[in-house]
Amino acid sequence: MSNREFTPTFREALWKAHNRKCLHCGREILYSELRIDHLLPEYLHYSPVEREEVLALIGLPAEYDILGKQNLAPSCAGCNEKKGTTILAHGRLAILIAKVRDKISEVERRESERKAAKELDGILRSVALAVDSGAFSVEDLKRRLDEIGSPTELKLEFVVKFEADEDEPDERTLHLDKAIIENMRRRRITLAEVTAQVRRALENPETKIDRRSRSAYMIRGPGGLRVVFETWRNNVYIASAFLH
């Protein structure tokens, strides 16, 4: 049982790393049912004398961190309430701590990916707003994109408005996947540049667009930038972006 506040990012990472199951009973739980349980009760962190005695009794090192990830487990509400501040039997506790320890690297990986995705989502939102207003700093976006890690799985989408009609603006969703984003980063091409180029192409019927296949098109932009994309209804899928 815990009185601590945990970030949504950590809660979700812990829940998914343990296959969405309670560590105590093995039952699959909904995210809304998730409780974070301290395998050794949290109060021991604030009671150094008792903590030292308990750790010595069950054979854990004196530096074992009660508030650390090696002591945090996903639990259903029932198991969490039933356990309370009970100190589990040594054998059972050792098994649970080992299971939690084995999942720490996956928890941290998921945390890192989630944080990177959230930061990139924030940048995408600012890009969309900046493009709509016609004011953005390409260099600033390059710098911010370079600061982001590389999640193993990531798909991005955001709405871009095209003023095809003053009364009914055309709203389309622009899609990019992880491979495209990583390729753009290597080539120092920003989302703002790609978005602006697609926007110009779809707004201006006189823009030169080369048909690459039945459904794919390539736009030739300033500075040698080439963007290949496909359209389907109100969706624009970026296939590649490169400098020629």
Reply yes or no on whether the pLDDT at 240 is more than 60.
Answer: yes
Strands 216-220 and 209-211, sheet pairing: antiparallel
Output the six-digit token pair for 46. Answer: 């604030």
Q: How do residues 66-89 score in pLDDT, each as one tens digit? A: 999 999 999 999 999 999 888 888
The pLDDT value given to residue 72: 95
Separation between Cα atoms, residue 92 and residue 189, nearest integer Å: 54
The pLDDT value given to residue 26: 94
Dihedral in degrees, nearest 10, Cα atoms 28, 26, 76, 85: -170
Q: How do residues 51-65 score in pLDDT, each as one tens digit? A: 999 999 888 999 999
Read off the pLDDT band of 102 (50, 70, 90): very high
Q: Are 103 and 111 in contact (CB under 8 A)?
A: no
Output the six-digit token pair for 219. Answer: 């736009």
The DSSP-derived string for 197-228 is: HHHHHHH-TTS-EEE-SSSEEEEE-GGGEEEE
Strands 235-243 and 170-177, sheet pairing: parallel
